[in-house]
Amino acid sequence: MSWPIATVVTAAGLFAGTNIDDMVVLAVLNASSRADGRPRRWQIWAGQYAGIAALTVISLAAALGLTLVPERWVWLLGWIPITLGVRKLVIVIRAHNSGKHVSPAVATGLIGVMSITIANGSDNIAAYTPVFRTIDATDTFLTIGVFTVLVAVWCLVGAWLVSHHQVTRFIQQWGAWIVPVVFIGIGVYVFGKAGVLGM
């Protein structure tokens, strides 16, 4: 396999392997957007790009020997989706008790989507750092280019997963309960990946 193709394939595999779980997050965000208009589509895209960019920058810095986020603190990122999920669940319960309708949206803006992306991708740093440490500048730029293209692919697939009207109707009816539970689950998942639950 020639040099650029090998780099592209490796980068694509690295991205897919570390972000397959992000597809669930994108599906939930897109379902919320379709059902209630929040977060907006551009905020999902921009937040996803900003989150992946932050994870990549942290990994590049770590590859150069800098420690922007000590590994022992990475598990703290799990509190972001858990906090958002619990807060939303409390709002849903109060609204249900008073007979009001509530939006399924948990992350309603760019910062919220970015925070969820970073929290869910906390393990990416451990995978990206050794790769960036062992490749040269040309391969690094090529790898970042592949990541940039694949973020768009992920966003498109996440939107496609909830493109059916039945899914949208289901989210409108039950999303206010499902979405916060999913986000709490994401936080627990981050704890599990960081090894906190086994301590």
Residue 198 in this model has a pLDDT that exceeds 70: no
What gap in Å lies between CA 31 and CA 170, rounded to an integer? Answer: 9
With cut-offs at 50, 70 and 90, classify the pLDDT of residue 20.
confident
**Average of per-residue pLDDT across 136-158:** 92
Give the helix ranges, DSSP H, for the chain.
3-19, 22-36, 41-63, 79-97, 110-120, 124-134, 137-161, 165-194
Q: What's the confidence (pLDDT) of residue 2? A: 59
pLDDT in tens, 34-87: 777 778 889 999 999 999 999 999 888 887 876 555 666 666 667 767 787 788
Residue-range domain boundaries for the chain: 3-194
Q: What's the confidence (pLDDT) of residue 45? A: 94
**Average of per-residue pLDDT across 4-22:** 83
pLDDT in tens, 152-165: 999 998 888 777 66
